[in-house]
Structures are given as C-alpha cells and as structure tokens.
A and B are shown apart, each in its own frame.
Chain A
Amino acid sequence: MIRYSLHRALSLILSLLVASVVIFTVIEVIPGDTAAFMLGVNARPDTIAALRAELGLDQGGFARYLTWVTGMLQGDFGQSYTYRTPVAELIADRIWVSLPLALYALFLAVVIAFPAGLYAASRRGRLGDISVMGATQIGVAIPNFWFAMLMVLVFAIHLRWVSAGGFPGWDQGLGAGIKALTLPAISLALPQAAILTRVLRSSLLDMLGEDFMRTARAKGLSRRQSLWRHALRNALIPVLTIIGLQFAFLIAGGIVIEQVFFLPGLGRLIFQAISARDLIVVESVVMLLVFLIIVVNFIIDIAYAAIDPRLRARA
C-alpha cells in the first residue's frame, strides 16, 4: 500500500511539473501585449513601458516562469495585473464558491444516481429499468447551460422563488449561500447523475453474471441482498473512476454555469482574466484546477486500492 501510494505520488508531482510548463508556454505564446491592452488606444508608448516595468513584464519568459513556479511552491501565486492584488487572495475568495458548488453538484449527482442505478439494475429489462434509462438518455443529451436557463425562467422569473443569479456570500448565512447555489448545482448535477446512473447500472449488471454472484444466490441470499453486499462493492471501481472524472468536469464545467448565474467563482474569474488578459491569473487558476484534478485522481487511485485489495498487492 505504501509503495503503491509513493508510486502514485511521484507521478502526481511529475504531472504537475509538466502541466506548469505546458500552461505557461501556451499562455505566453498568445499574441498581444498585456500592458498595451490594459491601457487602451490612447496610451502613450512611455506609459505602456512604465506599466510593463511595474508588472514585471519586461523580464524574459524563462525568468518569469521561474519566479512563477518558485512562488507557487511557497503559496505565492504572484500579483494580478488587473486587480493589483495577490492572485492567492483572489483564488481564496472564489474557491469558496466553486468548490462548494462542485461538491454540492457531486453530492446531488451521487444521491440521484445510486438509488436510480440500483433500482434500474434490479429491474433489468422491466418497465422501471426502461423508464430510468429513458430519463438518463434525456439527462445526458441536455446541455447543462440550457437546462440552467430553463430553470432560471421557471424558478426565478415566473415563480420568483430564487434570484436569477449572484451569490450573497457565506457571511449572509449558510441558508442564503446554499439557496444561491441550488439552481446552479442542480443544472450541473443532472447530466452527471444521468451518466453515473448508466455506469452504475451497467457495472452492476456485469457483476450479476459473475460466478461469485451465483454462489451468493446459491448460499441463500436474496436477489437484493446479493446486489447490495457483493455486486455493489465490485461495481464501484468504474463508478469511482467516473466520479473522479466528473469532479474535474464539475470544477471546470463551472465556467459556463458561473457565467449563466453570474456567480463569483473560479470559472468566472478565469473568464474575466482571459478577457482582461490577466495572464498570471489565468495561469495560476488553470494550474490550480490541474492540481485539484490530479489530486482527486490521486485520491481515487488510493481509493481503488482500499476497495480492491488486489491492486495493493500488484503495486
């Protein structure tokens, strides 16, 4: 288990290093001068030069990469060009919207998918299964931003139950925060719940054909008991993989949903930073997202080992 974890940890560090080089290079080669962009069409060349110097943009690319990476290792993401505040502060503010939103959505997706998947698998081929599968087909097909707009139309404009968007801040109370995140979380969660349901169902059905399931039934367990005790645990590996991928998608997918609901999260920060050419913010937020995703995958890898003892032995 320890060797396995170390192995995964090493690949995690290498992935992060490669990601940092790729992100920095890709963003730096985009044409356009940040300082010139910030100052607009009436700016004089000497003003632009002064701003470039102030932002540290007059240094070479490699020097800036080193400053950036060494800074990040110490938790310093640099200074935002446009906001003129530390990027770490910007991220710290925004992550309290994006992370709860992603977790909320993931929670909803799991809460919907597990009962639905188990139900469909236990009713294979019957009306219940067909209805659940039909519903998930629709869930997968509907784009989440479109569904989000539809919900805004119904719940914010017609029924007036919630605001059309915005986030009051957690200091206004947990209830207010959760209320503001509910529509966005539902719109993020539904397509994910649909995918998860389908994966769980097919994974469970694969298990039903296994020898150990026949043995379980033979020793007298009911269909439901064998499904819960034996099939579910074995079916979890592909489901966990999907949940890991989905968490990544939910964090990144927030970019669109945060625009639709004008939520002050990481997605909106990155969107604004791209349009304002605040490259240091773009680089740092993308790096953070990569970090989150790699860490989640790491956790999932470790979780595989916890679920499946064979993986521990193999490593």
Chain B
Amino acid sequence: MNNQFIKCLAPLALAAWAGMAAAQDNNINVAIQLEPPNLDPTGGAAQAIDSVLYSNVFEGLTRFLANGAVTAGLAKDWDISDDGLTYTFHLRDGVSFHDGTAMDADDVKFSLDRARAEDSTNAQKGLFADIADVSVVDPTTVVVTLSRPNGNFLFNMAWGDAVIVAPESIGDIASNPIGTGAFKFSDWVQGDRIELVRNPDYWGDKALLDAATFRFISDPTAAFAAVMAEDVDAFVGFPAPENLAQFSSDTRFQVLVGNTEGETILAMNNGLAPFDNVLVRQAVALAINRQEIIDGAMFGLGTPIGTHFAPHNPAYKDLLALSPHDPERAKALLAEAGYPDGFTTTLKLPPPSYARRGGEIIAAQLRDVGITAEITNLEWAQWLEEVFRGKDYGLTIVSHTEPMDIGIYANPDYYFQYGDPEFAAIMDRLNAETDPTKRQLLLQDAQTKIAEDYVNGYLFELAVATVAKRELNGLWLNQPTAAVDLTAVHWAR
C-alpha cells in the first residue's frame, strides 16, 4: 500500500469518525451552581432539587411554562364548582412512573395527603393548607375539596413541591427519584454529577436529547473555566455577570438574560421606630437610586420594580413613579417626620452578592439623605434566625424568589411586620375570586396598596443569566420557578 493512499484515506477516516461521534453525541452537559442535597422535591426548600428534577423527572397536576403561565400537567383538564370549593381533576390516561407502575388517582391522593399531613416536612406546606379532602372517584378522576375558595389553587399545584409521587417508590425518593417525566433519573455521583436519560415511554412529546448530565460549579472562576473549556454545554444561572460580555462576543456561545421570580427588596421593619412612620419609609424609598444599584451590584442585570411583583407577569402594574430617586424630597420628608438630622439604623445583609454589594451602595445613598445604616453581614442561617424570625433589624436586603408571593404582606407577623387590614381584605377577595380579569384587577390593587404605603424599598427583579453553546436551542430564558426544563432542548446541528 503506498503512502499517498494512506495520506488520502486518513482525513476521510477521521471525518467519518468525527461525524459518527457527532451523530451519537445527542446529549448535553449542563451546569448549575449548587448541587441538590437530595432528590426529593417534596421534602426540602433547596432550589437545586427543582432545578434538576422539575418537569424533567417529576410532574404535577399542573405545570409552569417558560413564560410563567400555568397549564395542564398530569391532569389533562379540570372542573371547578361555582363556589370555587371543589376541583375535579381528570387525569391523563396511560401515564406510568419510571418504574413501570401506573400513575393513577390513588397516587394523586397519596401525594397531596402526604404533603399536607401532620408530620409532613414539605417546605411549602402552605400550598396545601386549604385542602380539606382528596377523594378518588375512579382511576383517572380525583376530587379535591377546599375549606375556603383559593383562586391560586391551580397555580399552587404547579410548584415543584406539589409533584405527584408514588407510594411504591417514596422510601428512597431522596436518592432514587421515580417520577413520570420525559427524563428518567439514571445516576448520581455525589459531589460531581447527576445523569438523566430519555424516558422512551413518556406519555407526551418525548425528550429530544438522549441524555443529560448536570454538573455543579459554584466558584465563579471555575464556572468561567468550565464554559470556556467547553466542559459544559450550558450554564444556567451563571455566577459571574462580569464575564457575560466576553461570552457574548465569543462566536461559540450565546448569552440569555431572563427574569426570575425574585423581587429584590430593601425590607424595612415596619414594626420598629422610625420605620413605623410612613413618611420615613417613603424617604428611604426616595433615597434609593435603583439603576445605580443594578449597575454597581449586578453589572447591569435586573429590571427595576416599583412594587412587590414580577414585571413579566401580565398583572404587573408599573408603580416606579411612586418612588423616583429624589434625595431632596427624601430629606424634606425626614424633617417632616421629625428626623431633620436623620437617624441611625442597622442594615443586615445575607450572603448573596445582590445583598452584599447592593448593601454598600444603598448605605451610601442613605447617607446622602442623612440616614446612617450600619452594615452587618450575616450567614443565611443567622439571617433566618435574627432577621426573618427574630425581627431584630432595621433594614435588610433580600430577594423573594417564590412566585406570586404578594400574599406575604397580609401576614402581620411576617418579618417586615406590615399586616395592614385593608391589604388583607384585598387578599381575601382575591382568594375568593376565580374570574381571571377580576383577579388581575385585585392583584393590581394589592400592588398599588403596598407601593403607596412604602412598606419596603422595591429595588429590582433578579435576573438569571444562561450561557450556552450557540447551537443549543430550547432552553428557558426566564425562571418562573427554579427549573432547568430540558424537555424541549435540542442541538441545531
């Protein structure tokens, strides 16, 4: 055989081999920051559990779409009684769990009863609080009776904490999750990766990828290196916003910047002087320059908000005009409230960079109107104990990441201690209302009420940045709930 021939053949063989490799390689390596502590979405608050499993492995009666809308999940449709107390769910036929057992009405009853049980450790037990009874009519029909009307019920059932699980596999759900989703759990090498494979028996549109591997990288420098070295195909929730410009200008990558459900607020202790005075709260709100905080703490990522509501939600009302940056008026308001020389308070900051970096900027802005904010940095557990439960604080910065959580303002015992009866009345009307248009109006009334009462300083909606290979399609832009839904993700090559 002459050398010339081999020289011609080698590139061909190489090309064929490369082509084969590419054809076989219909999977994805996706990185998120934190590793789930366990794989039970119904037993803990860790968002990373939902990031890996929501929609991929586990499904609920209803589900969130990428735009935050709620749509049918394992229930194909439902009837709601006129008094809003009885929900009859019609389940899809022929749905089976990954272990081959059928998903039926008994599993739904088991899941809901388990979540609301006395000894339940469901982190969102409140979602199920209004359920009075769950009864099985036939294998595909479940009737849920509520103790009081709850217009949010279908929305609540879409949460990751409300997914349907089976009594047969609940024992080791924490390490071997068995759901109904388009991907099956395959392997978890703790500390390194979780592997999912396509579920060939999925009831709906089958996943387009053969397999997916989740990696966990929290260090910003390591995250940058992993994406640049193409160890990962996508990084959802990229931890270093300062690197995004570099990725945007690199032809290998695309950068998606979307919204989360995280309303980032400068919370004020409404139960503590001087923040019990609405003039003082208004002064604080006017002292804040939102854009400066977004640019300085978040590298420009984030949408300013004027109330406690996600701006991408159809019911959002733009109330930014109620609290423009106006230090002069803030000073006048402080004088009117009896603090012409300002006052001193505490600013307690949890670990995320929006709080730590944002806190420095806010302290400087408050100083301009005469308010001295003494910064204390806290770990999360301390923050929960001191600020959230102990209410021992003047100001704090935190992002409220639960979707549609404006209802927290009706609780007088919540850490910002607002609990205005008028607001609570709006919430009661909202819960009793099932008409979408009227609900929207009530939600807007609620937004206006808290913005006019200057309960908190409303800063911005937390953004989420995803860096991915350019040929990757179908990733979620926004995060209506913590999820890396891979069911529609595919390679365009």
B120 touches A47 (CB 8 A): yes
Q: Binary interface profile of A, 157-174, with partner B (CB < 8 Å = 1, else 0)?
A: 100100111110100000
Tally the A-B contacts, defined by beta carbons under 8 Å. 152
Instruction: Select from chain B the residue with minimum beta-carbon distance to A258.
Output: B191
Q: Provide the residues of chain B in CB contact with A54, threshold 8 Å.
A: 119, 121
Q: Is A125 an interface residue (CB 8 A)?
A: no
Q: Provide the residues of chain B in CB contact with A58, threshold 8 Å.
A: none
Q: Provide the residues of chain B in CB contact with A83, threshold 8 Å.
A: 37-38, 174, 190
Q: Is B86 an interface residue (CB 8 A)?
A: no
A36 touches B389 (CB 8 A): yes
Instruction: Select from chain B the residue with minimum beta-carbon distance to A48.
Output: B121
* Bound CA span A124–B62, Å: 78
**Interface window among B140-148, B218-226, B364-372:** B218-226
B219 touches A260 (CB 8 A): yes
Q: Is B12 an interface residue (CB 8 A)?
A: no
Q: Is B385 an interface residue (CB 8 A)?
A: yes
Q: Is B241 an interface residue (CB 8 A)?
A: no
* Bound CA span A54–B400, Å: 28
* Minimum C-beta distance from B186 to chain A (A): 14
Q: Binary interface profile of A, 118-157, with partner B (CB < 8 Å = 1, else 0)?
A: 0000000000000000000000000000000100110011
A47 touches B123 (CB 8 A): yes
Q: Is A40 an interface residue (CB 8 A)?
A: yes
* Minimum C-beta distance from B242 to chain A (A): 15
* Minimum C-beta distance from A213 to chain B (A): 49
Q: Give the A interface residue count (CB, 8 A).
A: 53
Q: Provide the residues of chain B in CB contact with A97, threshold 8 Å.
A: 191
Q: Binary interface profile of A, 7-44, with partner B (CB < 8 Å = 1, else 0)?
A: 00000000000000000000000111110111111111
Residue in A46, A51, A167 whose beta carbon sits within 8 Å of that of B192 in the complex: A167
B225 touches A82 (CB 8 A): no
A40 touches B45 (CB 8 A): yes
Q: Binary interface profile of B, 174-206, with partner A (CB < 8 Å = 1, else 0)?
A: 110000000000000111110000000000000
Q: Provide the residues of chain B in CB contact with A156, threshold 8 Å.
A: 225, 228-229, 231
* Bound CA span A169–B125, Å: 38
Q: Is B300 an interface residue (CB 8 A)?
A: no
Q: Provide the residues of chain B in CB contact with A268, threshold 8 Å.
A: 191
Q: Is B379 an interface residue (CB 8 A)?
A: yes
* Minimum C-beta distance from A162 to chain B (A): 8
Q: Provide the residues of chain A in CB contact with B44, threshold 8 Å.
A: 38-39, 82
* Minimum C-beta distance from B147 to chain A (A): 16
Task: Give residues of chain A (72-91) contacting chain B, Cβ–Cβ below 8 Å.
Answer: 82-85, 90
Residue in A34, A152, A153, A165 whose beta carbon sits within 8 Å of that of B381 in the complex: A34
B192 touches A42 (CB 8 A): no
Q: Provide the residues of chain B in CB contact with A46, threshold 8 Å.
A: 118, 125
Q: Is B124 an interface residue (CB 8 A)?
A: yes
Q: Provide the residues of chain B in CB contact with A259, threshold 8 Å.
A: 218-219, 222
Instruction: Select from chain A the residue with minimum beta-carbon distance to B193.
Output: A166
Q: Is A93 an interface residue (CB 8 A)?
A: yes
A169 touches B229 (CB 8 A): no
A37 touches B384 (CB 8 A): yes
Q: Is A262 an interface residue (CB 8 A)?
A: yes
Q: Binary interface profile of B, 40-77, with partner A (CB < 8 Å = 1, else 0)?
A: 10001110000000000000000000000000000000
Q: Which of B120, B225, B228, B402 has the most CB of A within 10 A?
A: B225
Q: Is A265 an interface residue (CB 8 A)?
A: yes
* Bound CA span A47–B115, Å: 10
A164 touches B225 (CB 8 A): yes
A277 touches B229 (CB 8 A): no
A39 touches B123 (CB 8 A): yes
Q: Provide the residues of chain A in CB contact with B389, threshold 8 Å.
A: 36
Given A43-B45, A157-B229, A269-B191, answer yes or no on A164-B222 (Cβ-Cβ < 8 Å). Answer: yes
Q: Give the B interface residue count (CB, 8 A).
A: 47
Residue in A32, A50, A90 whose beta carbon sits within 8 Å of that of B384 in the complex: A32
B46 touches A38 (CB 8 A): yes
* Bound CA span A278–B190, Å: 15
Instruction: Select from chain B the residue with minimum beta-carbon distance to A44.
Output: B125
A157 touches B123 (CB 8 A): no
Given A156-B225, A166-B192, A272-B35, answer yes or no on A32-B125 (Cβ-Cβ < 8 Å). Answer: no
B384 touches A264 (CB 8 A): no
A32 touches B120 (CB 8 A): no
Q: Is A217 an interface residue (CB 8 A)?
A: no
Q: Is B376 an interface residue (CB 8 A)?
A: no
Task: Give residues of chain A (268-286) contacting chain B, Cβ–Cβ below 8 Å.
Answer: 268-269, 272, 275-278
Q: Which of A42, A43, A169 has the most CB of B within 10 A?
A: A42
Q: Is A230 an interface residue (CB 8 A)?
A: no
Residue in B123, B175, B222 whose beta carbon sits within 8 Å of that of A40 in the complex: B123
Q: Provide the residues of chain B in CB contact with A42, threshold 8 Å.
A: 45, 123-124, 126, 402, 405
* Bound CA span A315–B215, Å: 53
Q: Is A94 an interface residue (CB 8 A)?
A: yes
A32 touches B191 (CB 8 A): no
B225 touches A149 (CB 8 A): yes
* Minimum C-beta distance from A204 to chain B (A): 39
Q: Is A261 an interface residue (CB 8 A)?
A: yes
Task: Give residues of chain B (201-239) contacting chain A, Cβ–Cβ below 8 Å.
Answer: 215-219, 221-222, 225-226, 228-229, 231
* Bound CA span A309–B384, Å: 59
Residue in B121, B216, B228 whose beta carbon sits within 8 Å of that of A39 in the complex: B121
* Bound CA span A151–B193, Å: 23
Q: Provide the residues of chain B in CB contact with A262, threshold 8 Å.
A: 192, 215-217, 219, 222, 226
* Minimum C-beta distance from A3 to chain B (A): 44
Given A38-B45, A163-B229, answer yes or no on A32-B382 (Cβ-Cβ < 8 Å). Answer: yes
Instruction: Select from chain A the residue with minimum beta-carbon distance to B351.
Output: A275
* Minimum C-beta distance from B37 to chain A (A): 3
Q: Is B122 an interface residue (CB 8 A)?
A: yes
Instruction: Select from chain B the residue with minimum beta-carbon distance to A54.
Output: B121
Residue in A36, A40, A41, A82 whose beta carbon sits within 8 Å of that of B37 in the complex: A82
15 contacts between A and B (CB under 8 A): A31-B382, A41-B388, A42-B123, A47-B122, A50-B121, A82-B37, A83-B174, A85-B174, A152-B229, A164-B222, A164-B229, A260-B222, A262-B222, A275-B380, A277-B380
- Which chain A residues have a beta carbon within 8 Å of chain B's beta carbons? 30-34, 36-44, 46-47, 50-51, 54, 82-85, 90, 93-94, 97, 149, 152-153, 156-157, 160, 163-167, 169, 259-265, 268-269, 272, 275-278
